[in-house]
Amino acid sequence: MARAATTSDAFNAIAEPQRREILGLLRGGERPVTDLARDLGMTQPQASKHLRVLREVGLVRVREAGKQRLYGLDARGLRPIHEWVGGFERFWNASFDRLDEYVQELKQASQEAAPDDGEQ
Amino acid sequence: MARAATTSDAFNAIAEPQRREILGLLRGGERPVTDLARDLGMTQPQASKHLRVLREVGLVRVREAGKQRLYGLDARGLRPIHEWVGGFERFWNASFDRLDEYVQELKQASQEAAPDDGEQ
DNA sequence: TTGACGCATTCCGATATAGGCATATGATGG
DNA sequence: CCATCATATGCCTATATCGGAATGCGTCAA
């Protein structure tokens, strides 16, 4: 079996950076395809394809406006993601088991070893 | 080009449901591979592969413990995701452009049409 | 009707996946 | 050293991706 379809999930849909950018732009309001494509430096077919994925998972909506098709944000599908990730909130400060101390140790150690921050 | 590697991003890594389950389990503390595999009903090689992906994006950490390798959660990589998604928080209630009114209209319309609440 | 514009779709190629299975690697105990 | 347990890796297949280029509509204006 291959990887799950990008359209199977909002999780999969937003795994693609360009789609995230599209969603970001759409916060500013509805926009036609060509507009988005131009602003994001992608070709029109690419934009259309990404928008198709986003539409299939319900993250955007289309509205016909004469020659154009205005895409608008429908962020409701992002909520479950926010909640799932939020379930880890108390872990990304003091990560690991009860290894908060471990992190502290690492910090101290790296500070002592080198003055510059080696984190990525 | 193909889809971005699952290891290219935390976004991509958590797109896979089983990996999300693994992370969920690890909130309970460090666990050896076989444990995880059994609890999630997957084979050991599968668990190992998923853990590899999670490790490569930095969402889990390994600690050698004799024969075993204890995997532990490192949720720090989830924070950027939470923040990105959080940027849409104000949109998933009143979605679309200035279509809050539109939603209102829909609600009113359905209320007039039927006395029962048709929302899911 | 013809032409131009806006957008969607299709075909192609390259790639990397997840799953299943076998096996290699590593550490432990006798 | 050998057997065993715990993990990691390799190989294989089927699948779906993203990118690029070409093309197929549908709409609007003259």
Report mean pLDDT in 10-residue bins for chain A, 120 residues: 93 98 96 96 97 97 94 96 96 60 44 40
Residues A19 and A57 in one domain: yes
Mean pLDDT, range B22-26, rounded to an integer: 97
Per-residue buried b or exposed e for B74-110, using 16+ beta carbons within 10 Å of the residue's own CB:
bbbbbbebbebbeebeebbeebbbebeeeeeeeeeee
Residues A11 and A67 in one domain: yes
Does some domain include residue A21? yes
Residues B55 and B13 in one domain: yes
Mean pLDDT, range B55-59, rounded to an integer: 97
pLDDT for residue B108: 44
Range(s) of the domain holding residue A99: 78-112
Residues A62 and A11 in one domain: yes
Q: Is the dihedral of CA B91, B94, B99, B100 positive or negative?
A: negative
Q: Which tops the pLDDT comparison, A30 or B107?
A: A30
SS3 A60: strand
pLDDT for residue A70: 97
Please state whether strand C lies within 7 Å of residue A69 at its CB atom.
Answer: yes
Does some domain include residue B117? no
Q: From CA A76, how far away is CA B101, in angstroms rounded?
A: 17
pLDDT for residue A113: 42
| Residues paired with residue A62 on neighbouring β-strands, in sequence order | A71
pLDDT for residue A94: 63
Calculate the alpha carbon distances from B106 to B87, B99, B100, B113, B119 in Å: 26, 10, 10, 10, 11
Please state whether strand C lies within 7 Å of residue B46 at its CB atom.
Answer: yes
Q: From CA B80, how far away is CA B27, in angstroms rounded?
A: 18
Residue with minimal CA–C1' distance to D23 is: A45
Residues 50 through 69 of chain A touching chain B, CB cutoff 8 Å: 61
Does some domain include residue A100? yes
pLDDT for residue B94: 63
Residues B46 and B101 in one domain: no
Measured in degrees and rounded to the nearest 5, phi and psi for residue A63 equal -140, 125
Question: How many domains in chain A?
Answer: 2
- Percent of chain B clearing pLDDT 90 (strictly above): 72
Distance, angstroms, CA A30 to C1' C23? 55
Residues A82 and A59 in one domain: no
Q: Which segment of A74-83, B47-56, B74-83, B90-99 scores lowest on mean pLDDT?
A: B90-99
| Residue B1 DSSP one-character state | -
Residues B66 and B90 in one domain: no
